[in-house]
């Protein structure tokens, strides 16, 4: 039967039942009509499938799988081909484990380097985000396994992510925060999209019709299914109306019953439910048709792909005097606990149980390299500098030809569930590096981390190699690069600032418990830094190599351009060095004399090319209308501004090698925005030291009154009140807090590692009361929740079940 025929035979109750999960990871079945249960499970840089039965928090040990570099690393390859290959491999592992949909990739923009989950996301730039996400999706889905593009939308922090209202102007929403999703949807059509927890301009993403239907389906042509992040449902029936298809995990039938009742009382058109059921049936049928019983993937081949990915994603920030690669016969000191126990992935729902794990120490030994090792620091959380360990490291480094230090951010510094509060590395790492550099002028540093950090010792060492979170083969990949078996070729997909205060959203990140105001608007990352030529540690697109490249012979196909045209940009690159290597050429579009506020340049094309020593190749980049467009809010659509534009070809956003010009014939809609120079002047002058947008300016840009930043502490409690907010609401609040603490302590006994425990401890108090049903494993029912809210609002307890639970 076709999906439509199956839906026509489903009862109302069966249709509603399909709209929520069977348990934490699987969908419900309708066996008489041929619909079996299918599994969805975590990604996004490898498979995280729980062993055995699932727990109510999804944190139990997972089956072995290949841990590829996290997105913050793999994006630095600027390689669509590599991301496609990683996607294929992930899909093959899903086939073996009978997983139908892997939850990823994540394409949220890196608004601030402090976001604790930035390691899961690609970039501060929406274009490369969308391009590489599309490649990964295409790779996974080529195997007959689906993906879930997430977290839709404007989820750029972990702080208060369950209830926070992301307050963002329409232009920034379209140009920065939705463009990555748009590119991925239009190019790759993911099977599913996952909505985020947060509100977007006052509406929860799970019931935001403008996002889920008007933009996603009607504008972009998305044909798949929309699911929730786990526990993200607010009002289930409103979600159905808005375009939310699948609730994960299920609510024990509670929300299914709400859907049935809504259809029966006429508040929900059954035709809308039919469309939802059709998308669910189509997903299940697609998954069933692509199952491969007995399929086995090649673990060794996948590990080698992970090693290749880590090599191609590593970024060489500094290499004074060509200290790297290691020269044959040198006396070497290898220092740092990360050299033996690498930091290779982030913490949270993406944490993978790797099929194997390479260390740099073992990899160097395998290559016959002799060296003296010293740990330099411990891996205990928040460990202070250990003078004895630093002294031992200095003794090992002194007199050696080359000292190589492995350092970075420990697991506890960046995770799902909480944000960083500083850009600093641990002092135990910083002091170690500074001490070793004093006794050995030939010091290199290898960094394992998921996001930019401050490196106060940058001028004291000769070389810095960033591995990001390079996956299970990060150690062997680092050895390959240090030994010169491969030349580093990655480029930064995010700016490394000189100070936290330099970041454009510094004054308003992460906001309050109830509101995150995106006052910087479109000026995210290099769009902000490059506009005022602000000093940075390392710019977007930056990365060195063991060889050198020469750009030339630039040609632009036409001297003029109008909407609907395409523009061909061609140029040559020659490897003028002594070894082979890959270069990543970047094409930026720069409007001149613009009447509106815009970035001085925006990435609109890129290409990775490998060249042998002395080899030259010609690259061709095609620019379309979107490369010149901006979102015009009064027009409610994309517009093109008339004028002269520069086409810039560079090795980074600040290393422009070639320039061309084109005259663009626009639509004149920029005249609709002339008032903004008066109403929001801060966006036209970014030469100031710090971006500080006033209330009136942001409100004018936002186009409506700004919502309250705080919840009234004396206001009524509801299901979206957080545990933190109700903790002091009488005896019931205190006892509820104690109950949750006990249940979490019991659950943590099964957590894989301390960082998962820390993640849950950090985010538990920010969860809304409605999350208690999912977290309690059925102990807290909808009826108990309603009674709890009444008691927290000062009413007497009349529910025996609640009295027993809280002893009130």
Q: Where are the beta strands (DSSP E) in 381-473?
A: 402-408, 443-448, 463-466
Average pLDDT score over residue span 31-53 = 94
pLDDT of residue 417: 92
Residue that the structure tokens 């008691």 belong to: 791
Assign 236 a pLDDT band (cuts: 50, 70, 90).
very high
pLDDT of residue 577: 98
Q: Where are the beta strands (DSSP E) in 331-460?
A: 332-335, 353-354, 371-374, 402-408, 443-448
Residue 203, H or E segment: strand 203-204
Alpha helices in 290-374 (DSSP H): 299-313, 360-366
Residue scoring higher pLDDT (759 or 92): 92
778: left (phi over 0), alpha (psi -120 to 50) or beta: left
* Separation CA 312–CA 74 (nearest Å): 8
* Separation CA 349–CA 71 (nearest Å): 14
- CB-count burial class (<10 Å; 0-12, 13-18, 19+) for 58: middle
What residues have CB less than 8 Å from 234, skipping those under 6 apart? Answer: 204, 206, 207, 720, 770
Q: Is the pLDDT of residue 748 over 90?
A: no
pTM score, whole prediction: 0.97
Q: Is the pLDDT of residue 751 over 60?
A: no
**Region of poorest pLDDT, from 345-354, 494-503, 577-586, 742-751:** 742-751
Assign 180 a pLDDT band (cuts: 50, 70, 90).
very high
Assign 348 a pLDDT band (cuts: 50, 70, 90).
confident
What residues have CB less than 8 Å from 651, skipping those under 6 apart? Answer: 491, 541, 542, 549, 551, 583, 584, 585, 586, 657
Average pLDDT score over residue span 785-800 = 93
Q: Is the pLDDT of residue 806 over 90?
A: no
Going from the C-alpha of 482 to that of each of 438, 450, 491, the distances in angstroms are 22, 20, 17
CB-based contact 247:239 (threshold 8 Å) = yes
**Region of poorest pLDDT, from 218-227, 230-239, 409-418, 551-560:** 409-418
Residue that the structure tokens 């425990």 belong to: 757
Residue 300: CB atoms within 10 A of its CB come to 10
* Separation CA 723–CA 727 (nearest Å): 6
pLDDT of residue 513: 85
449, 441, 372: which is closest to 407 by C-alpha? 449
Q: Is the pLDDT of residue 54 over 80?
A: no
Q: 125-136: b or e for each residue (b if 16 or more CB lie within 10 Å)?
A: bbbbbbbbbbbb
Going from the C-alpha of 54 to that of each of 49, 57, 62, 448, the distances in angstroms are 9, 8, 10, 31
Assign 743 a pLDDT band (cuts: 50, 70, 90).
confident
**Residues forming the active site:** 229
Tell me what percent of the residues of the chain surpass a pLDDT of 70: 98
- Tens of pLDDT, residue by residue over 75-107, are 999 999 999 999 999 999 999 999 999 999 999
DSSP annotation of 251 reads: -
Average pLDDT score over residue span 342-357 = 94
Average pLDDT score over residue span 560-580 = 98
pLDDT of residue 760: 81
Assign 690 a pLDDT band (cuts: 50, 70, 90).
confident
For the record, the structure tokens of 162 come out as: 């369950």
Assign 57 a pLDDT band (cuts: 50, 70, 90).
low
Q: Where are the beta strands (DSSP E) in 557-628?
A: 560-562, 567-575, 581-591, 602-611, 616-623
Residue 5: CB atoms within 10 A of its CB come to 10
Residues facing 645 on adjacent strands: 591, 662
Average pLDDT of the residues of the chain: 95
- Tens of pLDDT, residue by residue over 107-155, are 999 999 999 999 999 999 999 999 999 999 999 999 999 999 999 999 9
* Separation CA 358–CA 435 (nearest Å): 28
Residue scoring higher pLDDT (372 or 350): 372
Q: Is the pLDDT of residue 632 over 90?
A: yes
* Separation CA 249–CA 719 (nearest Å): 18
Residues facing 585 on adjacent strands: 607
503, 504, 416: which is closest to 159 by C-alpha? 416
What residues have CB less than 8 Å from 488, skipping those under 6 apart? Answer: 314, 315, 316, 465, 481, 543, 544, 545, 546
- Tens of pLDDT, residue by residue over 531-553, are 988 999 999 999 999 999 999 99
SS (H, E, C) 492-555: CCCCECCCHHHCCCHHHCCCCCCEEECCCCCCCCHHHHCCCCCCCCECCCCCECCCCEEEEEEE
For residue 9, cis peptide bond before it (omega within 30 degrees of 0): no
- Tens of pLDDT, residue by residue over 445-492, are 999 999 999 999 999 999 999 999 999 999 999 999 999 999 999 999
Residue 316, H or E segment: strand 315-319
Going from the C-alpha of 701 to that of each of 176, 317, 682, 710, 746, the distances in angstroms are 15, 38, 11, 21, 48
- Tens of pLDDT, residue by residue over 694-725, are 999 999 999 999 999 888 878 899 999 999 99
Average pLDDT score over residue span 187-198 = 98
Q: Is the pLDDT of residue 747 over 80?
A: no
* Separation CA 295–CA 414 (nearest Å): 35
* Separation CA 586–CA 603 (nearest Å): 7
Average pLDDT score over residue span 319-348 = 96
Q: Is the pLDDT of residue 750 over 70?
A: no
Residue 194, H or E segment: strand 192-195
Q: Is the pLDDT of residue 793 over 60?
A: yes
With vertex at residue 206, the alpha carbon angle to CA 203 and CA 208, rounded to the nearest 5 degrees, is: 45
Q: Is the pLDDT of residue 778 over 80?
A: no
* Separation CA 402–CA 192 (nearest Å): 50
């Amino acid at each position: 039967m076709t999906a439509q025929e199956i839906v026509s035979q489903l009862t109302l109750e069966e249709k509603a039942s399909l709209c929520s999960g069977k348990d934490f990871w699987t969908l419900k079945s309708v066996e008489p009509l041929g619909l079996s249960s299918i599994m969805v499970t975590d990604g996004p840089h490898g498979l995280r499938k729980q062993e055995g039965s699932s727990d109510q928090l999804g944190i139990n040990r997972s089956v072995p799988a290949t841990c590829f570099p996290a997105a913050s690393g793999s994006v630095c390859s600027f390689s669509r081909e590599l991301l496609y290959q990683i996607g294929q491999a992930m899909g093959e592992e899903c086939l073996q484990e009978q997983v139908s949909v892997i939850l990823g990739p994540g394409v949220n923009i890196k608004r601030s380097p402090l976001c604790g989950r930035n390691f899961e996301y690609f970039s501060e730039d929406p274009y490369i985000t969308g391009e590489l996400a599309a490649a990964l999706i295409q790779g996974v889905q080529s195997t007959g396994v689906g993906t879930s593009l997430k977290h839709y939308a404007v989820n750029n922090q972990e702080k208060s992510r369950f209830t926070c209202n992301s307050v963002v102007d329409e232009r920034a929403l379209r140009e920065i925060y939705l463009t990555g999703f748009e590119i991925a949807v239009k190019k790759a059509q993911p099977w599913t999209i996952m909505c985020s927890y947060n509100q977007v301009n006052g509406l929860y993403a799970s019931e935001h019709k403008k996002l889920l239907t008007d933009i996603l389906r009607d504008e972009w042509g998305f044909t798949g299914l929309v699911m929730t992040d786990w526990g993200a449902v607010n009002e289930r029936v409103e979600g159905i109306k808005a375009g939310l298809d699948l609730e994960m995990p299920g609510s024990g039938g509670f929300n299914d019953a709400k859907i049935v009742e809504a259809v029966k009382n006429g508040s929900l058109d059954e035709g809308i439910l039919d469309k939802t059921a059709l998308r669910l049936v189509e997903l299940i049928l697609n998954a069933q048709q692509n199952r491969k019983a007995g399929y086995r993937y090649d673990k060794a081949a996948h590990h080698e792909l992970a090693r290749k990915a880590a090599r191609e994603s590593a970024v060489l920030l500094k290499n004074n005097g060509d200290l790297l690669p290691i020269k044959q016969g040198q006396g070497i000191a290898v220092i740092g606990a990360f050299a033996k126990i690498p930091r290779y992935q982030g913490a949270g729902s993406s944490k993978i149980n790797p099929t194997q794990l390479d260390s740099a120490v073992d990899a160097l030994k395998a290559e016959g390299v002799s060296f003296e090792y010293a740990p330099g620091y411990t891996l205990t959380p928040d460990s202070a500098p250990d003078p004895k360990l630093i002294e031992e490291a200095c003794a090992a480094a002194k007199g050696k030809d080359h000292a190589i230090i492995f350092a970075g951010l420990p697991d506890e510094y960046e995770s799902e569930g909480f944000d960083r509060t500083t850009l600093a590395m641990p002092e135990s790492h910083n002091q170690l590096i500074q001490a070793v550099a004093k006794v050995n002028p030939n010091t290199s540093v290898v960094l394992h981390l998921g996001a930019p950090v401050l490196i106060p010792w940058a001028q004291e060492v000769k070389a810095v190699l960033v591995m990001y979170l390079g996956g299970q083969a990060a150690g062997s990949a680092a050895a390959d690069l240090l030994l010169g078996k491969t030349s580093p070729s990655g480029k930064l997909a995010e700016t490394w600032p000189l100070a936290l205060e330099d970041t454009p959203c510094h004054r308003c990140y992460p906001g309050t418990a109830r509101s995150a105001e995106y006052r910087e608007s479109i000026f995210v990352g290099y769009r902000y830094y490059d506009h005022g030529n602000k000093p940075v540690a390392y710019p977007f697109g930056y990365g060195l190599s063991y060889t050198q490249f020469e750009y030339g012979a630039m040609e632009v196909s036409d001297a003029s351009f109008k909407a609907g045209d395409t523009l061909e940009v061609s140029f040559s690159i020659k490897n003028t060095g002594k070894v082979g290597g890959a270069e990543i050429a970047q094409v930026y579009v720069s409007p001149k004399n613009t009447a509106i506020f815009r970035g001085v340049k925006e990435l609109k094309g890129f290409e990775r090319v490998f060249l042998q020593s002395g080899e030259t190749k010609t690259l061709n980049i095609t620019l379309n209308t979107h490369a010149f467009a901006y979102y015009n809010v009064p027009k409610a659509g994309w517009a093109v501004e008339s004028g002269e534009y520069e086409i810039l070809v560079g090795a980074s956003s600040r290393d422009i090698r070639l320039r061309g010009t084109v005259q663009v014939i626009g639509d004149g809609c920029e005249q609709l925005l002339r008032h903004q120079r008066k109403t929001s002047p801060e966006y036209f002058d970014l030469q100031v030291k710090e971006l500080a947008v006033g209330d009136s300016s942001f409100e004018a840009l936002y186009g409506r009154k700004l919502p309250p930043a705080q919840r009234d502490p004396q206001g009524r409690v509801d299901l979206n009140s957080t545990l933190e907010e109700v903790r002091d609401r009488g005896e019931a609040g205190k006892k509820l807090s104690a109950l949750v603490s006990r249940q979490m302590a019991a659950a943590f006994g099964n957590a894989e590692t301390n960082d998962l425990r820390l993640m849950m401890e950090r985010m538990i108090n920010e969860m809304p009361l409605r999350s208690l049903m999912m977290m309690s494993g059925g102990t807290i029912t909808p009826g108990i929740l309603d009674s709890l809210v009444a008691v927290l609002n000062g009413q007497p307890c009349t529910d025996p079940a609640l009295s027993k639970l809280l002893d009130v």
